[in-house]
Structure 1
Amino acid sequence: MKTFVRALLGASAMCAVVSAAQAEKLTIATVNNGDMIRMQKLTDEFTKANPDIELEWVTLEENVLRQRVTTDIATKGGQYDVMTIGTYEVPIWGKQGWLVSLNDLPEAYDVDDLLPAIRGGLTVDGELYAAPFYGESSMVMYRKDLMEKAGMEMPQEPTWADIKKAAEAMTDKDNEVYGICLRGKAGWGENMAFLGAMANSYGAKWFDMDWKPQFDTEEWKAVLTDYLDLMNNYGPPGASNNGFNENLALFQQGKCGMWLDATVAASFVTNPDDSTVADKVGFALAPNKEGVEKHANWLWAWSLGIPAGSQKVDAAKKFIAWATSKDYTKLVAEKEGWANVPPGTRTSLYENEEYKKVPFAEMTLESIKAADPNNPTVDEVPYVGVQFVAIPEFQGIGTAVGQQFSAALAGQVSAEQALQSAQQLSEREMTKAGYIK
């Protein structure tokens, strides 16, 4: 009997070794933010159901991630089987044939449940090239107590004139309370994410239909002039160094009357463990200039895609379908609570009665719906993207323009000089790249 048991145990061990040896390893490159870290902790659920797939994680800071995955996919390096990529990369890479189509995800995945604005930003010529893990737009987060003290009410759909009036009323520099906090740190994904969205709400645009830069227009002059006016009169000192994280800290410390930034920040400013004003925060749609139909809503999603030429497409699709599914949302809600589920990707989430109780859920959905990556501006334009332009050259141009506008905020150059420099450098780069004939 003992001999038989030993033989059985030996056979089981042998099977386990063979099974482990046969397991297909997926290398997943991802960004080091809270939602992605949480996903890694919960992937035991996936591997239990799929013992033939092993997961290896490469977790990187955002700028490093972009550099690594861009180099790998452009050179066909094959280092990663699943990549975490943004709404900027997907249209470019999909058009170049660098990503695998996800149009054949299982019927149970329910691709039609994806929010149209988010799905549209990840689709090229009818092909879905990445599945969204979480999505965001931008909105106004404001102090309800300070508005009440000023005898004012924030409209659900404010104009920039409303924002200026509220900023003036809430500013109390003697007590280090500033009416408004906005991004000033240079970068295509920092100050230009905000200013690009603001430009749409003023009727401005990056390029006309002939790809000629538009910084010499009256619309862009109004954008930059009003931005500088807000920040110089009602913003915090040193604002040219402030990006998302710096303004988040200021708002949580009670030093901002308003903050216009990513909808994903809502869970941070309403978390009593981190925010001194958690129970005093209200939300409103990103503003527009009176008479302009577009609001200052940007659109972004961190998504999962598969590089073309991958030898592990089936396993990669299986993982992506799990990580971006409705069942994954339920798993996070069960483990972490509804306020912590990945937001902004599925219609069904915003129809869920439990999620509707989350104070920022409704405004997040409205904000995402207000952004249209395929029609981002008032006028017709040749590009896709809301707070960015989905061409490879944009990263360099956007950051260079951001440096000019940040310098204007710091008082190093005038608004006129910043706009003139932005026009010149953009024309030079677009001519060099062959867009301008």
Structure 2
Amino acid sequence: MTLKTLMLGACSLLAIAGTAQAQSTTLTIATVNNGDMIRMQSLTEDFTTKNPDIQLNWVTLEENVLRERVTTDVATKGGQYDVMTIGNYEVPIWAKQGWLLPLDNLGADYDADDLLPSIRSGLQMEGKLYAAPFYGESAMLMYRTDLFEKAGLTMPENPTWEFIADAARKITDRNANLSGICLRGKAGWGENMAFLTALNNSFGGRWFDENWKPQFDQPEWKESLQFYVDLMKDAGPSGASSNGFNENLTLFQQGQCGMWMDATVAASFVADPKNSTVADKVGYAIFPSKEGVDNHGNWLWSWNLAIPAGSTKAEAAQKFIGWATSKGYTELVASKESWAAVPPGTRTSLYDNAEYKKTPFAGPTFKAIQAANITKPTVKPVPYIGGQWVSIPEFQSLGTTVGQLFSAALAGQSSVDDALAQAQQVSTREMTRGGYIK
């Protein structure tokens, strides 16, 4: 073999390698820094091994920052991200605007019919799926059974907020750095306002009346917000106005909270003995209601993967979404970690799985999700759907503004009355500007 032949062969190999590299696709994925998403990143070698022509670039952000950045990118069709992690609040609004691409090729074995109907229905428009659910949730109460036993307390089947407040104050022990209850305080429409909207629903309140008039000047908001501020002052952790889902999760896992009212997805993390010091001491109960009000304020949420219309890599993005939200991914997590660690709340088959049903939280989680009704989230009639959110485009900005006002009240920077008055004023202005109030 001549030197010339060798050189030609080497050049051919380099050309082939260069072509393969040129054909490689890199997906930029924007996601939230929640535990299930962090776990997904650690398992993506399974995907890239099966799809060697696709590489993944992760942008992992705190919840409020994620929402701000993906909203800006999708609205301008900036193309910064190929896969976005968004909620069931955004999906129908953005799909209607033409900001999302339909998911019509998730794989032959994807089995979209296995998705829980209540979750799937919020991700469709005209029969097409515009996002695939990674995990779904409602909300429930998690509590320390050992502390309840020590205090002589028994959790009722249908707890009221009056009982919860009394129990929280009884089990609080400042000397032991133990707060009776942890509740979201960090400002954001998906942070403190997710909880406070659901709390107000359970007190019989609502964001707007049938004519879109804001209701912050009504007694239900005054009662629910004052209840929350007083309870957190007496039995909540210090710096509560800075605590969102992740911060409260850490406090509960470290044994510094007697109760935590939050998303059902947290159950697998508080029951994980590798990360939770109280894993074997956790009980679960339905979202409380106010005495005399027949509404538990259950919410319904899902974190979903969607493709923005500005992406030029839709085919590869659908392959990834199909992998990450499939039955196969669930089985991968179970094999690598445990059935308790799999993403909850999206597939009927998961709640039929005998191994998963052995976890202490599978039953309460499924019950909470089934009880949620986003088409009738309030006692009084309303012109919107949503449990912990309101299904209008303006809510993202408005909810965050109101959340900042209420977080300031929690921090003692304003009174409850002042916060509510400002919330009424800004909401009335925005709803008038948006044409809702004639």
TM-score by length of 1: 0.90
Task: Tell me the residue number matched to 1:183.
Answer: 184
Q: State how far apart, in whole Å, the 2-side matches of 1:176 and 1:40 are.
A: 34
CA displacement, residues 113-134 of structure 1 (integer Å, 9 cap, x when unaligned): 1122322332334432100112
- Tell me if structure 2 keeps the 8 A contact 1:184–1:240: yes
Distance 1:266 1:214 in 2: 33
State the AA in 1 paired with 2:87: G
Amino acid paired to 1:224:
L
Q: Does 1:308 align with 2:306?
A: no
Could you tell me how far apart the structure 2 residues matched to 1:213 and 1:124 are? 29
CA distance in structure 1 between the partners assigned to 2:412 and 2:33 by the alignment: 34
State the AA in 2 paired with 1:270.
A
| Greater shift in the superposed pair: 309-318 or 362-371 | 309-318
**Cα distance, 1:184 vs. partner?**
2.4
Further displaced range: 278-287 or 182-191: 182-191
The residue identity in structure 2 corresponding to 1:221 is K
2:39 maps to which residue?
38
What is the Cα deviation at residue 355 of structure 1? Answer: 1.3
| CA distance in 2 between partners of 1:436 and 1:228 (Å) | 30
Greater alpha carbon shift after TM alignment, 227-236 vs 93-102 = 227-236
Deviation at 1:358, TM superposition (A): 2.0
Mean CA deviation greater in 232-241 or 427-436: 232-241
Q: For 1:53-79, what per-residue CA distance to the aligned partner results, in whole angstroms no more than 9, with x for missing partners?
A: 343333334333323322221112223
- Residue 206 of structure 1 deviates from its aligned partner by 0.9
Paired with 1:417 and 1:2, the residues of 2 have a C-alpha distance of 88
Aligned to 1:195: 196
Counterpart amino acid of 1:128? L
Please say if residues 99 and 129 of structure 1, whose CA atoms lie closer than 8 Å, have aligned partners that are also in contact.
yes
Structure 2: how far apart are the matches of 1:400 and 1:79?
A: 26
Task: Say if 1:137 and 1:368, in contact at 8 Å, map to a contact too.
Answer: yes
Sort the Cα spacing of 1:322 and 1:204 in 2 relative to 1 into closer, same or farther, 3 A: same
Change (3 A) 1:10 1:127: same
Q: Hey, what does 1:401 align to over in structure 2?
A: 402
Tell me the percent identity: 66
What SS does the corresponding residue of 1:385 show, helix, strand or coil?
coil
1:86 aligns with 2:87: yes
Q: Where do residues 226-375 of structure 1 align in structure 2 (5 Å cutoff)?
A: 226-308=227-309, 310-375=311-376
Give 1:93 deviation, angstroms. Answer: 0.5
CA distance in 1, matches of 2:107, 2:380: 38
Partner-residue secondary structure (3-state), 2:57: strand
Hey, what does 2:390 align to over in structure 1? 389
- Paired letter, 2:60: T
Take 1:196 and 1:141, find their aligned partners in 2: how far apart are those partners?
A: 19
Please list, as runs of the form range in 1=range in 2, the aligned pairs for 1:46-85 lying within 5 A after superposition: 46-85=47-86
Give the drift of 1:181. 1.9
52-61 or 207-216, which deviates more: 52-61
> Per-residue displacement from partner, 1:343-367 (whole Å, max 9, x unpaired)?
2211111211111222222222222
- Give the Cα–Cα distance (whole angstroms) in 2 for the partners of residues 40 and 333 of structure 1: 15
Distance 1:175 1:25 in 2: 50
Cα drift, residue 284 of structure 1? 0.9
Q: How far, CA to CA, are the matches of 2:38 and 2:412 in structure 1? A: 40
1:211 is aligned to 2:212: yes
What is the Cα deviation at residue 14 of structure 1?
5.4
Letter in 1 for 2:131: A
- Deviating more after overlay: 130-139 vs 295-304: 295-304
Q: Conserved in 1, the CA contact under 8 Å of 2:202 and 2:295?
A: yes
**Aligned counterparts of 2:49 and 2:239: Cα–Cα separation in 1:** 50
Give a deviation string over 1:258-312, Cα, whole Å, max 9, x none: 1111222223322334333222111111112244343232232221111225433
TM normalised by structure 2 equals: 0.90
Measure how far apart 1:257 and its partner are. 1.8
- How far, CA to CA, are the matches of 1:62 and 1:238 in structure 2? 19
Structure 1: distance between partners of 2:138 and 2:407: 22
1:289 aligned partner, one-letter code:
K
Aligned to 2:223: 222
Distance 1:278 1:179, change over 3 A: same
Which sits farther off after the overlay, 93-102 or 381-390? 381-390
Letter in 2 for 1:118: I
CA offsets per residue over residues 386-414 of structure 1, 9 Å max, x none? 21223232232222222332333334433
> CA, structure 1 residues 222+352, in 2 after alignment: closer, same or farther (shift >3 Å)?
same
Query: CA, structure 1 residues 140+27, in 2 after alignment: closer, same or farther (shift >3 Å)?
Result: same
Number of aligned residue pairs: give it.
437
Kindly tell me: are residues 228 and 24 of structure 1, through their superposed partners in 2, closer, same or farther at Cα, counting changes over 3 Å? closer
In structure 2, the CA distance between the partners of 1:362 and 1:247, relative to structure 1 (3 Å rule), is same
2: CA distance, partners of 1:200 / 1:26: 40
C-alpha contact 1:117 1:373 (8 A) present in aligned 2: no
SS at match of 1:353: coil
Instruction: Write the deviation string for residues 328-352 of structure 1: whole angstroms up to 9, x where unpaired.
Output: 1111111122222122211111211
**Residues 184 and 59 of structure 1, relative CA distance in 2, 3 Å threshold:** closer
Q: Look up the match of 2:161.
A: 160
**Matched letter for residue 399 of structure 1:** T
Corresponding residue of 1:29: 30
Partner letter of residue 204 of structure 2?
A: G
- Write the distance in 2 (CA, Å) between the matches of 1:346 and 1:57: 25
Gaps of 5+ in 2: none
Counterparts in 2 of 1:60 and 1:259: CA distance versus 1, 3 Å: closer
> Per the alignment, do residues 417 and 27 of structure 1 end up closer, same or farther by CA in structure 2, a change over 3 Å counting?
closer
| CA–CA separation in structure 2 for the residues paired with 1:22 and 1:276 | 48
Distance 2:9 2:351 in 1: 52
The equivalent of 1:127 in structure 2 is 128
